[in-house]
Chain A
């Protein structure tokens, strides 16, 4: 592999890795208070991407006006999922995993709806003001300002969340995650924190869809791929751990970009899946995770 190809592959891997990391972070935000994983997260992201085509390309909204609206739609969707698929299930039994079925069900319904309305035409999606997807040369590497901004934004979101979880409400969410019963006894408003977290996760998912649109092709299969890659990123980092999600996302992105170059583009998903299985075997609680002691 020549040096320019190596750098191109590296940068390609890092920027798709950021998208995977952000999907993983949005999964984590929802997972923390509820200990439930949204099987419809890929469709949330897809919806953000599809709607960004509509808002930015068809309706010509300015980027900065469209994004808050899209995030609000994402938040509404996240909140609705909590009310329909999560709350009824975990109020029946906190240890039930029936939410796998209910969130999967919502993802199928959503996928069908998006598929029915989305024609699948790919288009160039505008990027935020001041940025461009046109690459510039830095040494032997080609990087666009959008890719750099994406990486910076991803790191900032992870750092911002780290601080958010140290506020009063953030700590209450952590308490719910650690020991739901004990947190409820201390008066933590589980229902409200759950709803807020699922709305925040939905908003972030929609944002990821907007961010991904300029560098990945928006197609109806995208939701599914992002669900799987986002899950793998979250699981490599340890579910619930946002710093781990950042590491996991970049690992998945790099595994796919280098897998595609070394073994051929058909094998890029296989490459990330194999890396995932190996890491899961070695560090089942995540690369940064600690062994969790079971409660009795």
Chain B
């Protein structure tokens, strides 16, 4: 069933956008205190945009961005008051200093669990607040700085309305740029880290570098917010920047709808404009913030934006379409359906042949005396193995025999206790998982690790990470080249979906898929990276017979492209029919290796699988 393109139901999502734009323009008709409140809200929204990148996209928690805001404000205050700079010239040093400080602060925390960052930023904020309040000579101590000049350009002092419009325009620009970032490989890398760091590494994302980018960007935006705060108020004191401010920034994003584009706008409307109008609430600020945080975290993780797009819009559309009798069945893909990554709309093409893989140099893998010890357990013991380039190598063995551990050593999740891993004769033992993925080693996991909150197309496109280059600046302004690359990756993703026969899943959230479909999508994600070596970890586990047949066809098609494949599998028929070489592991060591039909007849193999007694029969 094809929806008429001019159906009013299609416009429902845009009514939200229109409301936001109207709300953002309406302060122009206000004056005095209410206009000031709206201008402050715009400043907080700017810091909120940064928090949305850090928490909404990359999933990292900061409880210290109030300190970056304070430092931005103080850099402007000190340069204008003590050194006579014009306010506008202080923007660059303020942003650079906050970004630099953010870089120093986040580095020690980025390798650890994400809540460490929350605690460290909190400690940092307290230390910085103390320093600002106590240092009389530079920051003016408790009495702060006064006499920051108002915003002016070409000898004209901006009116209050003009200042509001200027700040709102900055927020709009920041929103546009972060929207572009979200769709770029860097933004997808952030989302991948939020969903699963191990999955992110497996497609070549450098986890520390990506978190670093998110943190520095968000610190810079908070610093810019501080600059605007200083020039708006003309005077700054330390008590304007307490810990509640840091919590406010986090709360703005959580209430607005973590990771949604307009979350910061919705968040400030709820948290800043409404409480300021009801002054009673300001006395109980901590209590109100605490209660709101608790309710959001427990009952509505996707915030107001989530409420709008996931509940309200579908409900309104449903009512409308039921009234018109045009309600389409759910999950039905028709040939006219269109696909979006972010919001880019691309017409779909139909393909039936294997999507082209541009590389034709499969990797040869050698393991040289690899041993992996965990505490007292030798999970892998002195394994030496050669996998010929372009072949499919099966790896079987009972549960706990070390197959997955071996795969983790090859893909770089573990560094072996001793021994070496070589690809095409080059040792890669010390390379990180991400570096190996970038060199063309792709893998799937025993339990599929997808970006559960993202749609299937996005899950495939993130697989192409290693093939997509370009600077962050290039991506956030969306050069023609960036747009072309995005179109191309979406096309490739569609052709893989088509090839696997699951085009109808393209817009589904990965977390909602069946187990078998998740496995297919994960293989598809691996293929998007055009791997030279593909590691499949029990791809047939827990899927139906039909799905196993589909999987076998897929693997055969991949074999025809001359790719090196290592297949860890319990399903003996599948693995013997697909592999050219078969290796059997037991208790961490190799038991047998050779041509599949011969290997499975060897007594040691039967013993490993069936136990000793079955040999006697």
Contacts and interface: CB of A to CB of B under 8 A. Distances in A.
A277 B108 contact: yes
> How big is the A interface, by class?
35 or more
Interface of A: 37, 39, 84-85, 88-89, 97-98, 100-102, 104-109, 111-113, 115, 224-225, 228, 231-232, 235, 266, 269-270, 273, 276-277, 280-281, 284, 293-294, 296
17 contacts: A97-B113, A97-B115, A101-B250, A101-B296, A101-B297, A104-B247, A104-B290, A105-B291, A106-B290, A109-B286, A112-B284, A112-B290, A115-B286, A224-B243, A235-B116, A284-B111, A296-B413
A114 B74 CA distance: 32
Nearest to B287: A112
Contacts, number: 106
Interface in B163-214: 198
Contact of A108 (B124, B247, B254): B247
B286 A108 contact: yes
B290 A109 contact: yes
Nearest to A111: B286
- Determine the main DSSP class of A at the interface with B: helix
A91 B83 CA distance: 56
B247 A294 contact: no
Contact of B294 (A102, A232, A280, A296): A102
A73 to B, nearest CB: 20
Contacts of B126: 224-225, 228, 269
Contacts of A224: 126, 243
B63 A104 contact: yes
Interface of B: 61, 63, 107-109, 111-116, 118-120, 122-124, 126-127, 130-131, 134-135, 198, 243, 247, 250, 254, 284, 286-287, 289-294, 296-298, 301, 374, 404, 408, 413-414, 445-446
Given A39-B118, A266-B130, A284-B108, 19 more contacts: A37-B115, A88-B298, A97-B113, A100-B118, A102-B293, A102-B294, A104-B290, A105-B289, A105-B297, A109-B291, A228-B119, A266-B135, A269-B126, A269-B130, A270-B127, A270-B130, A293-B374, A294-B198, A296-B446
A105 B292 CA distance: 8
Contacts of B284: 112
A256 B426 CA distance: 50
A152 B404 CA distance: 48
Nearest to A109: B290
A106 B294 contact: yes
Contacts of A228: 119, 122-123, 126
Nearest to B295: A105
A20 to B, nearest CB: 13
Contacts of A109: 286-287, 290-291, 294
Contact of B414 (A100, A105, A281, A293): A293
Contact of A284 (B112, B114, B123): B112
